[in-house]
Structure formats: structure tokens, C-alpha cells
Amino acid sequence: MQKQWHHVNPGRSYDQDMRKLVFTLCSVCVFACCNAQTQQKTCTPAEQDQVGKEADSLRTWDALYKSYKQFKHCENNAEAEEGYSESIARILADHWETLPRLAQLIRKDSEFGTFVGLDATMSMDDVAKIQDNALHHCPAGLSGLCTKLRKDADRAIADDAAVRKHG
């Protein structure tokens, strides 16, 4: 004898119940996402000070990534942005052999890949060295990252030239 399943609410069809369940789940997801957006962490003055002090002294990708994760909500801090640029330039210019570790972190967290870039606040000697390494010494399997760094370098050099021309 085959067991029959009886509908919990005989006044509604299975399709109606499923639509209601899907709608409820979607509503919960939308609410959770919106709630998370409105509760973004704000940067305290103590965090502003701390990120400002450490941003330019990070010399490994792991240290930079840890700081980025801890303070990424402290955007619009010019001192920190310049400091992070210095750390990125130092790691890329002086420790090019660590590029595979950067690639691993970017695979884990693509936003970190957007964060790591070159800009006109860096020494143009460092930018040129990084550009040359990206062009001539790219580790196997990292051509996408090297292409990004070359493009960043081109943009940083052009921005620096524009500032010098008009400055």
C-alpha cells in the first residue's frame, strides 16, 4: 500500500505554498542584505589613527591583507591611502618574488585585487621598476595580474605626467 501525503493546508495548492515559501525566503534575503548595508561599520578616530600609523610600514602581502581586512571600512582617509600605496610599491618593487602570494590572496578575496594597485602618489622610479617586472619577469600563470599591474603603471605614469605638466 502506497502512503499518500496529505497537504497541510487543503484550501491551497502545493504551487501556492511553494510560491509563498519562495517569496518569504527572498524577502528574508533582501531584508538581510539591506540591513547589512545600512549597518556598515564606521571608522572610529582611534582606527583612523591606527591605520594612518601602520599603512606605510607593511612589507608582506599577508600583513597588508590583514590591515586591509581590519580597516577597509576606513575609506576616505588620505593618510592611510598614501601609506597603503607606499606599502604596495615597496612590496612590488623590492619583493617581486612574492607576487604568487598576492595572487593567492586575490583568488581568495577579489576585492583585495582592486585595492592593490599603482597610482601617481608612488615614486615613479618604483612604478617603472614594477612595470618592467610585470612586462619582463612575470611568474608563470600570473599573466592576468601582470597585465593589471602594467595597466596600473601606465595610468600612474600618465597621471604623474599630467600633474607635472599642469603643476
Which residue is associated with the grid cell 493546508?
9
pLDDT in tens, 110-167: 999 999 999 999 999 999 999 999 999 999 999 999 999 999 999 999 999 999 998 7
pTM for the structure as a whole: 0.75
Are residues 59 and 140 part of one domain?
yes
Number of domains in the chain: 2
Residue bearing the bigger pLDDT, 66 or 4: 66
Report residue 48: phi and psi, to 5°: -55, -45
Confidence (pLDDT) at 123: 97
In terms of domains, do 28 and 104 share one?
no
76 Ramachandran zone, left/alpha/beta (phi>0; psi -120 to 50): left
Residue-level pLDDT at 75: 82
Please determine, for residue 24, whether its predicted confidence score (pLDDT) is greater than 70.
Answer: no
Please tell me whether residues 55 and 30 are part of one structural domain: no
Which whole-number Å values give the CA distances from 112 to 21, 31, 34, 88, 156, in the listed order? Answer: 36, 27, 23, 12, 19
Total Cβ atoms within 10 A of residue 131? 22
Distance CA 100, CA 140 (A): 9
Q: What is the pLDDT of residue 163?
A: 93
- If asked whether residues 102 and 34 sit together in one domain, one would say no
The grid coordinates listed for 63 are 600583513
Whether residue 136 sits in one domain with residue 64: yes
* 21, three cell numbers: 515559501
Residue 68, C-beta contacts closer than 8 angstroms, at least 6 positions apart: 84, 112, 115
31 has a pLDDT exceeding 90: no
Claim to verify: residue 20 and residue 55 sit in the same structural domain: no
> At 62, is the pLDDT very low, low, confident or very high (cuts 50, 70, 90)?
very high
Residue-range definition of the domain harbouring residue 75: 45-166
**In which band, very low, low, confident or very high, does the pLDDT at 41 lie, cut at 50, 70 and 90?**
confident
Please state, for a pLDDT cut of 90, what percent of the chain lies above it: 71
For residue 64, give the nearest of 51, 73, 75, 47 by alpha carbon. 51
Same domain, 58 and 118: yes
Regarding whether 134 and 114 lie in a shared domain, the answer is: yes
Query: Do 61 and 113 sit in the same domain of this protein?
Result: yes
Alpha-carbon distance 99 to 67, whole Å? Answer: 18
pLDDT in tens, 73-109: 998 888 899 999 999 999 999 999 999 999 999 999 9
Q: For residue 63, what pLDDT is reported?
A: 98
Identify whether residues 71 and 34 lie together within a single domain.
no
